Amino acid sequence: MKIFVAITGASGSIYARRLVERLARSERVERIWLSFTRYGREVFDTEEPDCRLEELDKVTLLREDDMFTPPASGSASTDAVVIVPCSMGMCSKVACGAADNLVSRAADVMLKERRKLIMVVRETPFNLIHLNNMTRLTEAGAVIMPASPSFYGKPETIEELVDTVIDRIVAHLSLETAKGWCE
């Protein structure tokens, strides 16, 4: 699989880090395209200061303004786009079809091509505009997945807690089955 992972300016960079690390280890993932929005990079560098995801095998870093890269084209073979964490600003852009940067364009491509778009939203509480945007996106074919970890398995570390969300993302990408809480 070829997967585009986009990191926006919402807090929750650990979700992006854990997802990209997991994807990089998967035998089924051939390539990971990675892009940060401007604020996404700033938040990521604040929350994960020692992490350079672009140095992982399989990862290619793409500029936010590069519209001549595979994820920006419907004729490319991108299998899925995951926006993690997804700010409400990016959610709004995609819901309105405002494809003015690589992240919003790649999401738009997934919707028009009927391919997998997963938006891991990070906001609370939601206002009516947020809910309406998420409804529009769901109706258009996106999967809205709030970064809401589960506690069934009694996670002992922050990473274990975060991984309950990552397990769901990976399952929706059809790479692995989600780990059940009874296991």
pLDDT for position 179: 58
Tell me the backbone φ, ψ of residue 9, rounded to 5 degrees.
-80, 10
pLDDT score recorded for residue 177: 60
Omega into 149 within 30° of 0, i.e. cis?
no
Residue 47 φ then ψ, to 5°: -85, -30
Angstrom CA distances, 117 to 45, 46, 109, 158, stand at 25, 26, 9, 26
pLDDT tens column, 20-72: 999 999 999 999 999 999 999 999 999 999 999 999 999 999 999 999 999 99
What's residue 93's pLDDT?
Answer: 97
Q: What is the pLDDT of residue 138?
A: 98
Predicted local distance difference test score (pLDDT) of residue 54: 92
Across the strands, what pairs with 119? 83, 144
Q: What is the pLDDT of residues 114-170, one digit of tens each?
A: 999 999 999 999 999 999 999 999 999 999 999 999 999 999 999 999 999 999 999
Mean pLDDT, residues 103-123: 97
For 9-144, where are the alpha helices, taking DSSP H only? 13-25, 38-47, 88-96, 102-113, 128-140
Give the DSSP letter of residue 56: S
pLDDT tens for residues 16-31?
999 999 999 999 999 9
Write the DSSP symbol of residue 180.
P
CA dist 132 and 31 (Å) reads 33
pLDDT confidence of residue 77: 87
Separation between Cα atoms, residue 35 and residue 105, nearest integer Å: 12
Task: Give the C-alpha separation, 88 to 109, whole Å.
Answer: 19
The pLDDT of residue 69 is: 96
Cα–Cα distance between 161 and 148 in angstroms, integer?
Answer: 9
Q: What is the CA radius of gyration of the chain?
A: 15
pLDDT for the residue 131: 98
Q: What's the predicted TM-score (pTM) here? A: 0.94
